[in-house]
Amino acid sequence: MSNLQQSAKNKLSKKQAIILVNGKLSLGLNESNTIFSNVNEGKNVWWFEPDNSKFNENLNLLLNDANRRVLYHFFIPKNDIINPKTIFYQRKDFDNKSQIQIRDNDYNFKDILKSEFSFRKYLKNEIKY
């Protein structure tokens, strides 16, 4: 099986990722307090677009590495990122929405679009599946 076929086989949905994390760690993740991304294979990045208001509450970020079969769990405490508009690229076609991209081989988990903001300090768990 090629890497591309294997990667597609191990992709998860947001719902599957939340069930996996809650089943292993009982963290109480849900649809509203969690952002999720598989690797965008066309660009080899995790790509997600949270509403800026998400950073006003405790926020979980799940990044799935389907090739390595690892789900990275980050916890961002509420108001730790006070003004995402100044840190992250802002979508022009949606009001109050950030666009964040992280290279899939960057384990400092830095945004590549604007500020090189690193999510590394928020990494709490690596869940193998």
Residues 57, 59: Cα–Cα separation, whole Å: 6
Give the Cβ contact number of residue 18 at 10 Å.
22
Domain span at 105: 3-128
Q: What is the mean pLDDT of residues 104-115?
A: 97
- Looking at residue 47, what is its pLDDT? 97
Q: Classify residue 23 by its DSSP letter.
A: H
- Strands 70-76 and 89-90, bridge-based pairing: unpaired
Structure-model confidence comparison of residues 71 and 10, the more confident one: 71
Q: How confident is the model at residue 8 (pLDDT cuts 50, 70, 90)?
A: low
Residues 89, 104: Cα–Cα separation, whole Å: 18
Q: Structurally, how many domains does the chain consist of?
A: 1
Interval 36-92: pLDDT, tens: 999 998 999 999 999 999 999 999 999 999 999 999 999 999 999 999 999 999 999
Whether residue 112 contacts residue 45, with contact meaning beta carbons closer than 8 Å, is answered with yes
- Looking at residue 101, what is its pLDDT? 98
- Looking at residue 41, what is its pLDDT? 84
The answer, yes or no, to whether residue 7 has pLDDT greater than 90, is no
